[in-house]
Amino acid sequence: MFDINKTIALIGGGLLDARRTWDSYGAENRPWQYTAINLTVPMILLWLVLTGILGAVFRSQYLAPGMAWRLWLISAVSAIIGFAISVAVFTYLAGVFKGKADFDRGTAALSLAALPAYAGSVLGTLPWIGWLLNVILAIMSLIFLYRIIPLYLRVPDEKRVIHFVVSIIATFVLVMILGMMLGVGNMVGDLVTVGQSGPAPVTRSAGVLGGMERQAEIYDQASRDTYDPPDDGQLERHQVDEYLRVMKATRAMQSEQTERMEALAGEMEDKEDASLADMAKIYQGLGSAITAGNAAMEIVKTSGGNWAEHVWVEEQLRLAKYQPGLNEATQLNRELFDDYAEDLAALNVP
């Protein structure tokens, strides 16, 4: 049952006296439904209302009533689904990394840790300083999340960094895939574009927020790509050359990021707790990790390529490799595949 006094206490305490609030609420061992009703959903709804009001005041945005309700509903549903995915990922992976896979406590942990980020998102609508407050409070949420996970999900100290990084990247990928499947990102983008009375300045955040923002743009661009393959289904040599260029750059980016995260994990392993400087390093590293996780699409789109064509070329190479006798096209493509077999094998593609 909804208890407004509990909601006020959790939000206020979670922002102003975080550690005491974590300890007291953790001791209550509430089911996830209780946390959702008294903290998670009110937090999301409050964020939507306040950002809507402040956005209208400071950014001169206007949405027709019907459009405003559609945007509000889409944003609310998207936020709740995204939050549920993040809880599921962090909780499941806690069990994988020798912690406690407890969905009740996972819901509480992520809800409490998210409070500064939601507050920052609201303050981000303010002119001039809003973007800076948004970034600072997003970093604070990462610090909260890093510190609360061992308390609520019992992830061992030696597994904290890897669990933290893998969970955030996995959450991002799953949410983006779901968004593409449902077309939510395009709907929100179209609504905002139509509803603005004039162009609004865009400031790209650093770290994980900047990585997510950039990859969201890349996903949106790639989802709009189309490619009409040749009737005979045959690959051209220049297509395979371009595919190899993209995959070589992809592997180099991923290898570099792996080395960085391994070095960071080693640096953090000997520390009992993370400082603000440590979390800033992780925050910046996560932005790079998100980009590396989607490196192929990033490279294709930033070089002016067609993602739909890239995917088609990869599929034809796969068919030529594993089913060369499928039809005449795969037989001919196999001949081309053999010319590049050594390079493809070195990259472990397709």
Whether residues 60 and 131 share a domain: the answer is yes
What was the pLDDT predicted at 108? 96
Q: Contact at 8 Å (CB) between 242 and 283?
A: no
Three-class SS of residue 221?
Answer: helix
pTM of the model: 0.58
User: Over the stretch 129-171, which tens digit does the pLDDT of each residue have?
Assistant: 887 888 888 888 888 998 899 999 999 988 888 888 888 888 8
Whether residues 148 and 270 share a domain: the answer is no
Rounded Cα–Cα distance for residues 224 and 247 (Å): 21
Whether residues 191 and 272 share a domain: the answer is no
Is 311 contained in some domain?
yes
What was the pLDDT predicted at 32? 95
Residues 6 or more apart whose Cβ sits within 8 Å of residue 297: 218, 219, 222, 307
- With tokens 């996970």, the residue in question is 149
Is 212 contained in some domain?
no
* Nearest in space to 211 (alpha carbons), one of 106, 292, 328: 292
Structure token pair of residue 297: 């699409």
Q: Contact at 8 Å (CB) between 49 and 120?
A: no
- Mean pLDDT of residues grouped by 10 in the chain (350 residues)? 92 93 94 95 91 70 53 78 91 92 95 93 84 83 90 90 83 73 45 34 42 64 87 93 94 78 62 56 57 77 92 93 88 92 90
Whether residues 193 and 283 share a domain: the answer is no
Is 168 contained in some domain?
yes
Structure token pair of residue 233: 């289904």
Residues 6 or more apart whose Cβ sits within 8 Å of residue 172: 212, 215, 290, 293
Number of structural domains in the chain: 2
Whether residues 157 and 287 share a domain: the answer is no
Whether residues 21 and 134 share a domain: the answer is yes
Give the domain extent around 55.
4-199
Whether residues 247 and 155 share a domain: the answer is no
